[in-house]
Chains A and B, each alone.
Chain A
Amino acid sequence: MKTTSSPLQVVLGAALGILLQPVSLMLVGAYVQATTRAGTEARGWGMMGAALLYMFYFGMAQVLTILPAALLLLPMGRHGVVRGLLYVGTFLAVGNIGVLVFMYAVSGSTIF
C-alpha cells in the first residue's frame, strides 16, 4: 500500500469527507419523504426524528458515507483522498463519542 500522500490530496479527501456527511441524512430524509404523505403527522415526526437522531449519531452516519467512498477510491490509487476521508471520519467518530458522553454525564439525557 502506498504510504505517502500529497497534502493537497489529503485536503481534498478531508473536504470530500465533510461534504459527504449530509448524504446519510439525505438518504433517510428521502426515505421518509417517499414513505409518507405530505402534510401528515407521520412525515413531521419522521423528518424531525431523522434530524435529531443525526445530531446524536452523526459519527455512525459516516459508515454510510465515508467508508463506502474510501473503499471505492482505494483501488483507484487515490490514497491521499482516502487518507483525508479517514482523518475526517476518525475525527467525527471521536467527536460523536464525546457528544454521547456529554449527553449522558453532563446534560443528563434520558435517551439511553
Chain B
Amino acid sequence: MRLRTVFVVYLLSTAAVIAAPFAIHALEKARREMIAVNSEAPLEATPTLHPGPTGPFQPIPICTGRNGTEYYNDRDLATGSEVSDRRTFVPDIEVHSCAVREDGTLYVVGGKDQNYWLRAYSPAAELKWSVTTDEIQSPLAVARDGTAYLISMPRNGNTLLTAYMPDGSESWRAPIGGFEWNPVPPAIGPDGTIYIYNGMQPAPKVIAITSQGQERWSAVVPAMVSRLVVGADGNVFVDVPAGHVIAFNSQGHQLWSFYSAAHSLNGGVAVAGDGTVYFTSGFLYALDSSGKEKWTFKSELTYTRGDYFDGDPVIAEDGTVYAATYYHQLYAITATGRKKWVFSNPSPGLPDDVMLTSDGILRSRVGWFSVSSGLATHGWPAQNHDTRNSRSQEAQ
C-alpha cells in the first residue's frame, strides 16, 4: 500500500475514533428520548405557588401541633406560618428536631458544643422539664401515652435507645449497638412496639422492642436501612440500598422483598391506608400489600437529564401522592398512577422537601400550594408519620 494511502487511512481512523464518543452520545440521547416516561398532559392545572419566606425564616415547619400551630426552626424556635405571623416561641435555641404529643406538649431535641438535651414545653412555651442526653440523636418517636423514644450515642460509641416518661424521667434504656452518625429514628407500631435499626456489621438488623424495653424479635437485613416505617396493620417496611424495600410482619417474619433494579439511591417509603406502599428509588413505585408492582411513575426528565425521585413521598387523604425529583420537579400523582399536575421549579438548589398539612397546604422550599386535601390519616403517609412527627402508628 502506498504511504500516502496509509496516511489517509490513519487520518480517517483517527478522525473516526475522535468522532465516535460524540456519535455514541447522540445515539444514546436519541434512544433515551424515545423511552416512555410520564410526559402525558396533567389532569389538572398546577395550583398557584405562593412564594415562601426567605432569609432566616424557614419555609417548612419542623413540626406541627394538633391545633395546627406550626413550629419553625428559624434563628429562634418560632411559631406562625407567615413571616408577619412569626413569633418567638423559645429564643436562642439550637433545635435538631421536635415532636408534639397529643396534648400539645412540644418535645424538642437539640444542643451544641457537646451539650445535648431533650426538653418539653407546654403550648404556652413554658419549660416543663429538660434532660441532658448523649450526642448524635435521632428524631424522636412519641407514643400515645407521652413516652418519648430517642436514639443517642454515648462516647463509647454504643448506640442507645432511651425511653423518657412524660415527666422527663428515664424509664429504661436499651443498647442498640453500632456506630451510626445518622441513626434511623425509631418507629412505633399500633400495639406500642418500638422498631429500631441496628447497623452493627456483619449482620445489620431490625429490632422490635416492647414498650417495657424487652427485645421481641430481630431480623437481619442485607444492608444499611435508611427508612423504617410501620403500616396500619403493623407490618414493618424498611428501605435498603440500592432500590430494595423489605416488608416484615409484626412477628418479624419477612413477607416480601421488592427490588426496583433502578441502581439508584433510595428516597423514601410511605404507606397508604389501603396498604399500598409508595417507594422512591429512581422512579416512584406503587406496590400492593403483597409487594407486587401496581404502577411506576417516571419523571419527565428521567432519561434526558438523569432525573430521579428524591426524598419521601407524601400521601394525601384523597389518595394523591406528592413526590419531588432531583431536578426540581414536584409531581402530584393520583392513586392510580396518573399525573395530576406537575410543578417545575426553575431556580437551582437542593431537591425540595415536601410537607403536607392536615388542612391541605403543601409546603416546599420554594413556597406553598393549596391542594385538594390534607395529609392522610391512615397508614404511614409521610416521613415522620404525621405533622406532629409522632412516628407512631398508635396515634390513629
**Of all chain A residues, which has the CB nearest B306?**
A110
- A59 and B21 contact, Cβ closer than 8 Å, known pairs A1-B4, A3-B3, A104-B28: no
Most chain B beta-carbon contacts within 10 A, residue among A2, A5, A97: A97
Give Cα A23 to B38, complex, Å: 49
Q: Give the distance in Å from the alpha carbon of A92 to the alpha carbon of B9 in the complex.
A: 12
| Contact assessment for B21 and A94 in the assembled complex, using a CB-CB cutoff below 8 Å | no
Interface residues on A, range: 20 to 34
Q: How many residues of B contact A (CB 8 A)?
A: 18
**Residue of B4, B9, B27 with most chain A CB atoms under a 10 A cut-off:** B9
Q: How far apart are B10's CB and chain A's nearest CB, in angstroms? A: 4
Query: Are B3 and A1 in contact, CB atoms less than 8 angstroms apart?
Result: yes
A97 near B6: Cβ-Cβ < 8 Å: no
A62 in contact with B20 (CB, 8 Å): no
CA distance A107 to B281 in the complex (A): 22
Chain B residues contacting A67 (CB-CB under 8 Å) are 14
Q: Which residues of A contact B27 (CB under 8 A)?
A: 104
In whole angstroms, what is the CA distance A78 to B126 when docked? Answer: 94
Q: Report the minimum CB–CB distance from A97 to chain B (whole Å).
A: 5
Do A93 and B10 touch across chains, with their CB atoms under 8 A apart? Answer: yes
Asked if A112 and B28 sit within 8 Å, CB to CB, the answer is yes
Q: How far is the CA of A82 from the CA of B28 in the complex (A)?
A: 37
B7 contacts A112, CB within 8 Å? Answer: no
With A67-B14, A112-B28 as contacts: A86 and B7 at CB distance below 8 Å: yes
- CB contacts under 8 Å to A, within B18-36, are 18, 20-21, 24-25, 27-28
Known contacts A62-B14, A63-B14, A89-B10; is-contact A79 B24 (Cβ 8 Å)? no
How far is it, in angstroms, between the C-alpha of A112 and the C-alpha of B29 when the chains are bound?
Answer: 9
The chain B residues found within 8 Å of chain A, CB to CB, are 2-4, 6-7, 9-10, 13-14, 16-18, 20-21, 24-25, 27-28
Interface residues of A (CB under 8 A from B): 1-3, 5, 57, 59-60, 62-63, 67, 70, 79, 82-83, 86-87, 89-90, 93-94, 96-97, 100-101, 104, 112
15 inter-chain pairs at a CB distance below 8 angstroms, sorted by A residue, are A1-B4, A59-B13, A59-B14, A60-B18, A62-B14, A63-B14, A67-B14, A83-B6, A86-B6, A90-B9, A93-B13, A93-B16, A93-B17, A94-B17, A100-B24
